[in-house]
Structure 1
Amino acid sequence: MPKRVKPTGEENEQESVPCKQAKEELPNTLSVLNFDSPRSFFESLIAPIKVETFFQEFWEQKPLLIQRDDPSLAAYYQSLFSLSDLRSLCSQGLYYGRDVNVCRCIGGKKKVLNKDGKAQFLQLRKDFDQKRATIQFHQPQRFKDELWRIQEKLECYFGSLVGSNVYMTPAGSQGLPPHYDDVEVFILQLEGRKRWRLYSPTVPLAREYSVEPEERIGTPTHDFLLKPGDLLYFPRGTIHQAETPSGLAHSIHLTISTYQNNSWGDYLLDSISGLVFDIAKEDVALRTGMPRRMLMNVETPADVTRKLSGFLRTLADQLEGRKELLSSDMKKDFVMHRLPPFCVGSGAESMNPGGKLPRLNSIVRLQFKDHIVLTVGPDQNQSDEAQQKMVYIYHSLKNERQTHMMGKEVETEIYGLRFPLSYVDALKQIWCGSPVRVKDLKLGTDEEKENLAVSLWTECLVQVL
C-alpha cells in the first residue's frame, strides 16, 4: 500500500483545475491580464514583448523597460496595493522587521528607522510624512488575493519560488542606496512615478553579496521614469537605485523576484550525491578505500586529485542517457515553500477530494499538475545500506499561504505520497495529463490499480471524469 510522506526537513503545461472560489467583489480590471495558464499570464504581463524575444535577448542579460499607455492596466496595477491596504493590514497585526521595514537613504547609506514590536499605521504614516521614510512591506501576497493569484501563476511558469515586496516612498526621497540583488527582478509601478537608475558594471549573475556594490558602481547606463502600468525587468547582479522625484505625489512600486539559488551549480550540488550513490553500487572502484590519513592532509596530494578527476569523468560518462536523477533537496524545498493553488477566500482546508470515488472502471485525469513533482529516491524509512528506491509525489495543494517566503525558520510541512518503484510506469501514464481508465494502468493487479487511483484522489491529485 502507498504511504503518505511524513514531514521532513520544461514539461508540457497543463491548466490546473481551479478551486471553487468564494463570492467576492473583484475589480473589473482583472481581465487586463490573462490567467488562463502560466504561459498566457506571463505573455500578458510582458506584452507587447514576445516571450521568445524576452528570453533570447533580455533574460539574465540586460534590462527591459515596457511602457504602456493603457488606463485599464494602470488602474489594475493601482488596485494591487495602496496605503489604505497598509492601514487595514496593520489592524491585523504587523511587526517591524518581519512584515515591514522603515528606512531612508541618507548620504548614500541606508538608515533603518524601525521601532520595536507591532507596527501601528499612525506611526508608519508619521515616519512617511515627516521623516520622508520609505515603507517596505514584505511578501504582500500573504494578504492580498490578487498578488497571490499573480505569484502562484509565476511560480508555475518559472518552476521557482517567487517573492515580492511593496515599496511606498514619499516625494523627493529614496529608501535604499545603490545595491544589487541575487534574484531576477520585475518592477511593477503601482502609484505615482519613480526614477530608476541602473549602473555598469554589473555583478554577473550575482549569487552573494561578498563585494560592496558602492565599490563597483560606475556610471549610470539607464535612467528610467516609471508611471502606473509600466514594467521594468533587470537581471540579478544589476546595481540599481530608485527615488521618487520632488514635486510629485508619493510613489508605490512592487518588486517581484525569482530564480534565487536556481542555477546549474545548485542543481549539480543537489543531484550529484544521488548519482554517486547509484553508480557506486555498480562500480567497485568507487567503493575502494581512500589512502590512509588522507583527511589529515593540509593539502590534497596530486595523485588524489588525478583519482578524483577520473571518477568525475566516469560520472559524466554514466550520466549520459539517464532519464532520472535522484534529487536531494531542490524539488522538496520548492514544493514545500511555494504558494498553494489560488482560491479566493479559501485556505488549505478547502483542498478536499470531491466527486465520485475512483473505481476500476473509472476514468481519471491528473489535476493541479503545475503544483506536483514526481521524483525517485531512496526509501527514507530504511536505515540499512541496501536502501530500496521509492517513487515520491510531493504537492503544494495544502501549503499555507500565510508563511510564503517568510524564511526557512518558519515551520512548514511537506505533503505527498510514496509508492514502490514498481508503480512508476503507472504514475507516468497519469502524469502525461490525458484521461486514463484505472483498469488500464500498468500495474500487476486490479487491487494495486484501484489503490493507486484512490490514493491520488484522496490527495486531490486526480479527478474522476
Structure 2
Amino acid sequence: MPKRGGKHAEMGREMRAECKRAKVEAACSPSVMSFESPDSLFGTLISPIKQEVFFREYWEQKPLLVQRNDPLLAAYYQSLFQLSDLKELCSQGLYYGRDINICRCVNGKKKVLNKEGKVNYMQLKKDFDQKKATIQFHQPQRFKEELWKIQEKLECYFGSLVGSNVYITPRGSQGLPPHYDDVEPGDLLYFPRGTIHQADTPLGVSYSTHVTISTYQNNSWGDFLLDTIPGLVFDTAKEVVELRTSIPRQLLMQVDIADSTKNLSSLLRRLADRLENTRELRSSDMKKDFIMNRLPPCLGCDSAPLTPGGKLPKIDSKIRLQFRDHAVITVEPDHENSDDIRREMVYVYHSLKNRRESHMMGTDEDTASEEGTAQQIHGLRFPLSYLDALKQIWSSSTVHVKELNLISDAEKENLALSLWTECLIEVI
C-alpha cells in the first residue's frame, strides 16, 4: 500500500466551474461543533445542508460553498489555528519541508522559499511580512487539540485517513495558483477530488488563514480491488483447477499475448462468480494501513495512554465493545510461522496506542529515527476458531462471555481478557 505523506499534492487539472453558493440564515447555523458522534460532527460541519443531500448532489460531483453569518461559528473556526500559534510551536522544534513550507505564487507558479533545518520564528515572520510569503503548515492536528478532535471523528465517519494543512497568506498576496473563492470566516468549502483551488488575501486585510481538511486519498474502488483480489485468487485457486493449470509455454517472453486473453477472461469470470456467492472479501493491507496511521481516540484531549480499567471479565460477565470505530478484524496467514504452508489466523488491529505526533507524516526513515515518530501496528492474534466469537462481540451492543461461540469456558475467558487488556472491551 502507498504510504501516506503529510504534504498533499496540489490538485488535478484546472476546473473553472463556479461553486454553487448555499446562503444560510444565521438562525439556521450551529453555534458550535457537535462531538457527540462522528455522524453529528459531520452534520454540524455541513449544516444546514443535510447529509443525504450532500452525498446525493455534491460528493465527488461538484463544489459547494456554505456561507454562514454566525459570529460564534466564525470565532470557533478562527480559533482552530492562528499566526500567533506558530511562535510557541516553533519553540518546540519545527523543520522546513517536514512541518512548514514558505512559498509564493510568482507568474502563476509556486516558488518555495524554505531555509534549511529548524524554523526560526523571527525569520519566518520576516519572510511573511517582507517577502509576502504564504506559510503552509503541515498536519496541525499534531499540535492543535481541537483539530485532533475534528479529524479523529471524521476518520471514524469516513473510515479513511483525514489530513489537514493550514495556509496563512499576507495581504495583497497569494501562495498557490490558480483559482480562488471569496470565503469569509465561518464559511465552508467542499471540493471534489481534482478541483484546483487557492486562497487570495485582498488589500485591507492584514492576513488570511484557512484550514484544508482532506480525505479518501488512495481509497478508490481500484485501490480496494488491488488489495482484495490477491486473496480472492488465492482462495479460489484451492477449489478451481483451472487457476492451478500452467500458463502457456514462453508466455512471459511474448510481446503479444492476445491468444491468451480469452483464457484469462474466462478465469476472471470464474472469480466474479465466486465473488457474487461469497460473504467474505478480505482486505488486510488497506485496513492495516488505515488503522496503523490514523489518529488515536481523543478522550477529553488527554494524551495519556489508555490503560485497562474496571472489573476483570469472567465467564459470567457481561461485556461490550469499546472504540468500535478504532478496531478492525482481519484473517491473514500466520505472521509468526515461516513454514511453506502457513495456517490462517485472526488479527484484531486497533489505533488506541497510535501516536498523534506522527499522524499523516509519512514514513521518512531519517525523520522517524531522529524524532521517534515511526508508527507501528497494535493488536492481537487469535486462532481462526475465534472468528465467530469476535464477530459476536463486534455485532452486538452487549454479550455475555459464557455465550461466546467458542468450545470451552477457558477460551471464552481468554478472548475476553485479551480484549480487555487492550482496552477494547469493558465489563458492565
Scaled by the length of structure 2, the TM-score of the pair is 0.89
State the Cα RMSD in Å. 1.3
d(CA) in 2 for partners of 1:374 and 1:53? 32
- 2:350 is equivalent to residue 350 of structure 1: no
Detail structure 1 runs of 4+ shifted over 4 Å in the superposition.
Answer: none
- Aligned partner of 1:426 among 360, 384, 389: 389
Q: Residue 418 of structure 1: SS of its match in structure 2?
A: strand
1:52 aligned onto 2:46: no
Q: Which residue of 2 aligns with 1:281?
A: 238
Q: 1:157-200: CA deviations, max 9, x gaps?
A: 0000000000000011010122xxxxxxxxxxxxxxxxx63xxx
Cα distance in 1 for partners of 2:198, 2:380 equals: 46
Amino acid across the alignment from 1:421: L
- Superposed, 1:173-212 pairs within 5 Å as 173-178=173-178, 197=180
In the alignment, structure 1 residue 39 sits paired with structure 2 residue 2: no
Aligned residue number for residue 166 of structure 1: 166
Report the equivalent of 2:398: 435
1:86 is paired with a residue of what secondary structure? helix
- In 1: Cα distance, 2:376 partner to 2:165 partner: 24
SS at match of 2:101: strand
Q: Give the conservation status (yes or no) of the 8 Å contact 1:145–1:344.
A: no
Once residues 241 and 196 of structure 2 are traced to their aligned partners in structure 1, the CA distance between those partners, rounded to angstroms, is 50
Q: Which amino acid aligns with 1:101?
A: N
SS of the residue corresponding to residue 173 of structure 2 reads coil
- What does 1:37-186 align with in structure 2 at a 5 Å threshold? 37-178=37-178
The residue type equivalent to 1:270 in the other structure is D
Question: Following TM superposition, by how much is the alpha carbon of 1:48 offset from its aligned partner in structure 2, in angstroms?
Answer: 0.3
**Residue 274 of structure 1 contacts residue 328 of structure 1 at CA under 8 Å; is this kept in 2?**
no
Contact 1:340–1:400 (CA<8 Å) still a contact in 2?
A: yes
- Cα deviation for residue 385 of structure 1 reads 4.2
Report if the CA contact (8 A) 2:320-2:427 is conserved.
yes
* 2:360 maps to which of 405, 422, 436: 405
In structure 1, what is the Cα distance between the partners aligned to 2:198 and 2:397? 48
Q: Deviations over 1:404-458 (max 9, x none)?
A: 0001334211001111111111111110141111111110000000000000000
CA displacement, residues 76-111 of structure 1 (integer Å, 9 cap, x when unaligned): 111111111111100101000000000000111111
* Pairing 1:257-336 to 2, within 5 Å after superposition: 257-300=214-257, 302-336=258-292
Q: Which amino acid aligns with 1:61?
A: Q
Hey, what does 1:457 align to over in structure 2? 420
Partner of 1:391: 346
Asked if 1:339 is matched to 2:291, the reply is no
3-state SS in 2 of match to 1:225 = coil
**One of 189, 194, 212 as aligned partner of 1:232:** 189
| Secondary structure, aligned partner of 1:412 | coil
Contact conserved, 2:31 with 2:70, CA < 8 A, in 1? no
Partners of 1:96 and 1:310 in 2: CA distance: 53
- Report the Cα distance in structure 1 between the residues aligned to 2:409 and 2:383, rounded to whole angstroms: 16
- Check whether the contact 2:31–2:72 (CA below 8 A) recurs between aligned residues: no
Contact kept in structure 2, 1:38 and 1:153, CA below 8 Å: yes
Deviates more, 1:104-113 or 1:320-329: 320-329
**Superposed CA offset, 1:226-250 (max 9, x none):** 1111000010111223211122221
Partner Cα separation in structure 2 for residue 31 and residue 144 of structure 1: 20
1:18-56 deviation line (CA, Å, top 9, x unaligned): xxxxxxxxxxxx971110000011001100000000000
Name the amino acid aligned to 2:281.
L
Specify which structure has the bigger relative contact order, considering alpha-carbon pairs within 8 angstroms and separated by 6 or more residues.
1
Question: What is the match of residue 249 of structure 1?
Answer: 206
Counterpart for residue 371 of structure 2: none
Distance 1:400 1:382, change over 3 A: same
Matched, 1:359 2:359: no
Equivalent residue, structure 1, for 2:335? 380
For residues 75 and 260 of structure 2, the distance between their equivalents in structure 1, rounded to whole angstroms, comes to 64
SS in 1 for 2:266: helix
Q: Counterpart of 1:450 in structure 2: which amino acid? A: E
1:21 equivalent in structure 2 = none
Structure 1: give runs of 5+ residues left out of the alignment: 1-29, 179-195, 198-223
Whichever residue aligns with residue 402 of structure 2, its letter is K
Contact 2:284–2:330, Cα closer than 8 Å, also in 1: no
Which runs of no fewer than 5 residues in structure 2 stay unpaired? 1-29, 369-373
- On the 8 A contact 2:329/2:349 being kept in 1, the answer is yes
Q: SS of 1:375's equivalent?
A: strand
Secondary structure at 1:104's aligned position in 2? strand
- TM-score, normalising length: structure 1: 0.82
CA distance in 2, matches of 1:311, 1:134: 54
